[in-house]
Structure formats: structure tokens, C-alpha cells
Chains A and B, each alone.
Chain A
Amino acid sequence: MPSDKNRIDRFEEDLINLLPNLRRFALSLCRNPDIADDLVQITVERAFAARNHYDPATPLAAWTFRILRNAWIDMTRKTRNHGAQIPIDDMADGPSVDGRQVTEARLMLGSVEAAMAELPDQQREVMVLVCIEDMTYAEVAEILETPIGTVMSRLSRARINLAKMLGIE
């Protein structure tokens, strides 16, 4: 059993190593660098406050991503700066996309990023977690506090939407 001090030292180092990933995830949620840094700051504060609830045998990334996402939900609830919230699962298939409308810009280097930005929030979120952060469906389900089947259906719709936008046949 490591001493309290060693436990905190490890938590501290692991958290610092995760900061770039936390920022990237935060940025994918709020798409504003200042708000993203605020979100990460709130996340590390909450992580330290709840550190005794963290099981070191489980991945710290999934645990902190979940805190970050909940902080983002709190923030959007509080500020209501996000406009009307539409449950994406109720929407048909995200934005209507047509391969022929793909612009030149999208075909260039930033095209994947541009296409990602057009995905509905809930689809972009699972894309980021699985295809960028390399998390398993089970980890994503835990972060989103949602059934794994929901994760998979959001992700498959996101992938099909992205493929259409990028002209992938």
C-alpha cells in the first residue's frame, strides 16, 4: 500500500501528463480555447477534491474525462450560452450532408477537422473519444454515463456522416 504522499505524487504526475488530452477534449466540447482551459482547471480541482474516490487500478483518463464532461454540462446549464439544446438522438441523422457539396477547403489538410466541427455535439464527442483519444466503447460509455449501445449508435452515425462529408465511398 503506497503512502499517502506517494499516492498524491503519482496522481499529480499522471494528471499533468493528461493535461494536453484533457484540453483537447475540452476544446472539442466547447470550441473555445479560453473556456477549454477554464474547464480543465475546474476538472483538476474536482479531481483533487474527489481523489479518494478514484480507484488507481482504473484508467485515470476515463475518470478525469468524465469529470470534465460533467463540468462542461454544469457550465452550459449555468451560463445557458449554448442556445437551445436539442437532444441529438431525436434528430434524424445530424446535418444534411451531400458529398457533392464538399468544398475545396474540406479536401485540404484541415478537411477532417472542418467535417468534425459540423458533426452534432454528441456525435463529435464520441468520435473524439474513440478515434482520437483511442478509448474503448466501454470507457466512453462510462465517461458519458450512457449505455454502450447508445455510444455505438452515435459513433456509427458520426462515422457515416463524416465519410459523406469527406467524400469517402
Chain B
Amino acid sequence: MTYSDDILMALADKELPADMAARVQAAMEADPDMAARYAIFVKSRAAMAGLRRTPDPAPEALVAHVRRLAAEARAEEARSNVVSLRDWRRIPALPMSIAAAIALAAGLFVGMQTAHDGGGSELAGLGQPGLTDALGQLPSGERKPLKGGGEMVVIGSFLTGDGALCREFEYDGPDGRTLVSVACRQGESWETRLTIAAQASDDGYAPASSLETLDAWLTATEASPVLSPEEEMAALQ
């Protein structure tokens, strides 16, 4: 029985199952030509041994790049944990066709509204009496009615890259509108950094699907993972 080069090579590379290897070995003993072809595969692999030395270490810049990507991945997964926190609290979701109005820190205001939503630019609610107190005291996950109507729930607390304590919360107005907002502590008061006004549907509000804006903001501010209840309580003191 004569075996092909591929089979002889597979024997040299220890890729053949034991029974097959034994058959090829036996055939070679009776066939010097085949044994010579086999030797070429053994020797050609042995010749490569010198190139198998440990490769040169990677440049520091590449290592640093991997470290950076890993840090970003951890931050990203921490943010998706914010979303799963929502799921856990069973806060129902808005339809994808959400009307969002985004108010950014410096008073920049961007409003968008869907055709059937007449009031996308009304961001009433954030001036509600009691809101500041609630931000300073309410643990994440607890819902609290506000004096001026409507109620709020804090989704989570985190620190921005520059160390400011911020809280993501939802305000559900008496008119059925929901605002998803981030406020950061500024001395004794809380300053709104971002607000997304979500058009309410019949069955609910704050949507994981519409939170790309929030995600972008969290990325830009290098937000920390969500604080644990203990960390949050300590930060609020």
C-alpha cells in the first residue's frame, strides 16, 4: 500500500489516529521510497524549529491599547447593567418610536418630536418641589411621589470621570409623560445634566431601546459602574 504525501506528512506531524499511523509505519518498512518521502516531512518540520523560539515581545503601545479596550468593555458592560437594573425593576418600556428631547448641561436644548406628539419640548417636571430632596435621599430603586404631582424613581448612582456624584432617575408626570434624566450634585444642589423626554405609551415608559443618548453621555463623561447600595448611601451622606 502506497500512501500519499499528505498522509505521510500527517504522520510526521502526529495528526493521524493511532491505528492509521501504525498501518502507515508498517507500509513504510517495506517501501524505502515512501520512507524517504516521509523523512522529508520530518526534516522540514525540524528545520523550522529555529523559528519557533519565543516571539519578540509586543510593543508597549499595543499592550496599552488592549488595556484601554478592556477598560472600555468593562464600562460598557457596567452601563448595560444599568439597563438590566431597569428590567429587574420591571419598568415597562416605551415603543421604539420615541419622541425624545435632550437637554444638555450648558442649557443647550435639542427638541425632537413625533408627528403625533404635540408637546415634545415641554420639560416640565424637573422643577418639581421635592425633587432635590429626593435626589439627595432616595435610594436607587425606590419610588417616591412628589409634592407637585407625579413620582420619581432613581435608577442608579455613579461617579463621572471628574468625580461628580450623579444619579439617573425617571420622573413620571401626572400627564403620563416620562422624563429620563441625569442630575449631578453641585455643592448643596443638584444640576440636571441630561434629560430625555419620552412620550408615554399606554403601557409604560423608560426604554432600554431609546437610551443611546444616555449611553453616549455616560461614555463621554467616563461614568463609573453603578454604585452598590452601600457605596451610594455613603456618597449621599
Taking beta carbons and an 8 Å cutoff, which residues of A are in contact with B? 4-5, 8-9, 11-12, 15-16, 19-24, 37, 40-41, 44-45, 48, 51, 109, 112-113, 116, 127, 130-132, 134, 136-137, 149, 152-153, 155-156, 159-160, 162-163, 166, 168-169
A152 to B12, CA, bound (A): 12
In this complex, the interface size class of chain B, counting residues with CB under 8 Å from chain A, is 35 or more
Q: Report the minimal beta-carbon distance from A58 to chain B, rounded to whole angstroms.
A: 19
Give the residues in chain B near A127, CB-CB below 8 Å. 48
Give the residues in chain A near B55, CB-CB below 8 Å. 20-21, 23-24
Name the residue on A nearest B14 (C-beta): A136
Q: Which stretch, B36-44, B136-144, B181-189, touches the partner chain A?
A: B36-44
B77 touches A112 (CB 8 A): no
A-B residue pair count with CB separations less than 8 angstroms = 110
B62 touches A163 (CB 8 A): no
B74 touches A8 (CB 8 A): yes
A152 touches B9 (CB 8 A): yes
B73 touches A20 (CB 8 A): no
A20 touches B47 (CB 8 A): no
- Quick check: is B56 within 8 A (CB to CB) of the other chain? yes
Contacting A159 at CB < 8 Å: which of B44, B52, B70, B81? Answer: B44
A87 to B106, CA, bound (A): 59
A152 to B55, CA, bound (A): 25
- Chain B stretch 65-115: residues in CB contact (< 8 A) with chain A: 65-67, 69-70, 72-74, 77, 81
Taking beta carbons and an 8 Å cutoff, which residues of B are in contact with A? 5-6, 9-10, 13, 15, 36, 40-41, 43-45, 47-48, 50-52, 54-59, 61-63, 65-67, 69-70, 72-74, 77, 81
Chain A to chain B: the 5 pairs with minimum beta-carbon distance, closest first: A19-B58, A12-B70, A20-B55, A131-B48, A159-B44
Contacting B9 at CB < 8 Å: which of A116, A159, A169? Answer: A159
A45 to B43, CA, bound (A): 39
Query: When A12-B67, A109-B50, A130-B13 are in contact, do A41 and B73 touch as well, CB less than 8 Å?
Result: no
Query: When A37-B59, A127-B48, A134-B52 are in contact, do A155 and B9 touch as well, CB less than 8 Å?
Result: yes
B67 touches A44 (CB 8 A): no
Name the residue on A nearest B77 (C-beta): A4
Contacting A20 at CB < 8 Å: which of B5, B56, B74? Answer: B56
A127 to B13, CA, bound (A): 12
A168 touches B73 (CB 8 A): no
